[in-house]
Amino acid sequence: MTDTEELRRRTQELLAQHPPASTDRLDFLRARFDAGLAWVHYPEGLGGLGAPRSLQGVVNAELEAAGAPDNDPRRIGIGLGMAAPTILAYGTEEQKRRYLRPLWTGEEVWCQLFSEPGAGSDLAALGTRAVREGDEWIVNGQKVWTSSAHVARWAILIARTAPDVPKHQGITYFVCDMTDPGVEVRPLRQITGEAEFNEVFLADVRIPDTRRLGEAGDGWRVAQTTLMNERVSIGGMAVPREGGMIGPVARTWRERPGLRTHDLHQRLLRLWVEAEVTRFTGERLRQQLVAGQPGYEGSGMKLAFARLNQEISGLEVELRGEEGLLYDDWTMRRPELVDFTGRDAGYRYLRSKGNSIEGGTSEVLLNIVAERVLGLPAEPRTDKDVAWKDLAR
């Protein structure tokens, strides 16, 4: 087992062989991956060393102190937080070696083709079809709310391959090349004026069977790994004290005492405490990841993240008064990622409305927490054993 001193030695060896000041950024990231210092808990040869996940901080601290570049994790969050754990768990050795390195270095951006116009909260009701033809699958359908599809090379895709069985059983999981013929990406303009996500149309897209993850028909089980990791990556991100949405509000409060009232003060104190509690809970959740796959607690974290962001951004608008309604950039932009803290208060207020939808609606997550975490009786589901083709749509 690799220990702390061994990791420090390997990190210093990397820095000596590839000095950050004189090494091309991409070359350095590739060398870091090949040295097993990308994600130390991954297997050797796949960017890791098979070390405990908790030791990643040792490597990160050494590299940060040396001024080494990172892989811009916010830009490639879907790849890092959703695609990579799924590929590691269900991919073939060939798939792991093909996809993980350029995913981690940021050379290839990933997106997620899950939700559909008629299958969002009830994802298992999806209707995108994949029909086997020799060594290929022919895919037709529509996906929606697809963040980063306009800049992505690859997508994780679930499609229906068996309509004659209950909906959870007839799904298969694929890797889709977003540059293939038949893949069309259209922007979806949001309430903020931006189009950070998209709708994607798939017309006779041919996917080789070698890009299937897991067994045919077992896609729902594979997708659960993606979804649990997604909720942790959204709600359980590491942030410093007064990081995230609470930071701008606290700064405004300190810098502009003329805006203060007793009621606003009490609300700010409550939300500041809740933000700290959520931050520490997220740290505990990340520590649990050291032992293996994330559990359903990530759904609770994502719930708290959405509610807090919406309450905090609402308080910020109210605190600023008329100024809080200003939002000076309504241009049709196509950003690669969401920036909550570097924009106007009006933008934060509008964009946070999506937090209770993306990554699983709050209503669905409440059911997950109730059933999987608290052990409460499940809601009646009359369609559980009905073949998908017989469901009302």
- DSSP string over 242-298: T-TTHHHHHHHHHH-GGG--HHHHHHHHHHHHHHHHHHHHHHHHHHHHTTSS--THH
Contacts 24+ apart (CB under 8 A), 273-282: 274/304, 274/308, 275/242, 275/244, 275/245, 275/246, 275/308, 275/312, 276/241, 278/304, 278/305, 278/308, 279/239, 279/241, 279/243, 282/235, 282/236, 282/237, 282/238, 282/239
Burial class (CB in 10 A: 0-12, 13-18, 19+), 193: middle
* β-bridge partners, 48: 44
CA terminus-to-terminus distance, the chain:
53
Distance CA 150, CA 194 (A): 13
pLDDT digit string, tens, across residues 21-62: 999 999 999 999 999 999 999 999 999 999 988 899 899 999
Torsion of CA 287, 289, 290, 292, to 10 degrees: 150
pLDDT at 342 over 70: no
How many helices (H) and strands (E) in the chain? 12, 8
Distance CA 125, CA 306 (A): 25
pLDDT at 271 over 90: yes
Q: How do the domains of the chain map onto residue ranges?
A: 4-65, 110-216, 223-373
Q: Does residue 230 have an active-site annotation? A: yes
Distance CA 265, CA 43 (A): 50
Average pLDDT taken over every residue of the chain: 88
Q: What tokens does 359 get?
A: 């990554």
Q: Which of 165-169, 212-216, 286-290, 378-382 has the lowest mean pLDDT?
A: 286-290
Three-class SS state of 207: strand
Predicted confidence band of residue 15 (pLDDT cuts 50, 70, 90) = very high
Distance CA 32, CA 20 (A): 11
* β-bridge partners, 194: none
Q: Looking at residue 118, what is its pLDDT? A: 87
**Which among 62, 199, 230, 297 is annotated as catalytic?**
230
Sign of CA dihedral 76, 352, 333, 239: negative
Predicted confidence band of residue 190 (pLDDT cuts 50, 70, 90) = confident
Distance CA 245, CA 25 (A): 30
Q: Looking at residue 191, what is its pLDDT? A: 84
Pairing mode, if any, of strands 154-160 and 110-113?
parallel
Burial class (CB in 10 A: 0-12, 13-18, 19+), 151: middle
Closest C-alpha among 111, 127, 107 to residue 30? 107
Q: Looking at residue 234, what is its pLDDT? A: 57
One CATH from 2.60.40.10, 2.40.110.10, 3.40.50.1100, 3.40.50.970 for 110-216: 2.40.110.10
Distance CA 30, CA 375 (A): 45
Q: Looking at residue 214, what is its pLDDT? A: 97
Distance CA 277, CA 279 (A): 5
pLDDT digit string, tens, across residues 278-302: 888 877 776 666 555 556 667 778 8
pLDDT at 268 over 90: yes
Hey, which bits of the chain come out as E strands? Answer: 110-113, 129-133, 136-147, 154-160, 171-177, 183-188, 197-208, 212-213
Average pLDDT of span 241-268: 87
Q: Looking at residue 209, what is its pLDDT? A: 98
Distance CA 19, CA 195 (A): 39
Q: Looking at residue 242, what is its pLDDT? A: 82
Q: Looking at residue 329, what is its pLDDT? A: 63
Q: What tokens does 326 get?
A: 């200003």
Task: Tell me yes or no: is domain 223-373 CATH 2.60.40.10.
Answer: no
More confident residue, 338 or 79: 79
Q: Which of 15-29, 100-114, 261-275, 354-368 has the lowest mean pLDDT?
A: 354-368
Neighbours of 338 (CB within 10 A): 18
Q: What tokens does 299 get?
A: 């759904």
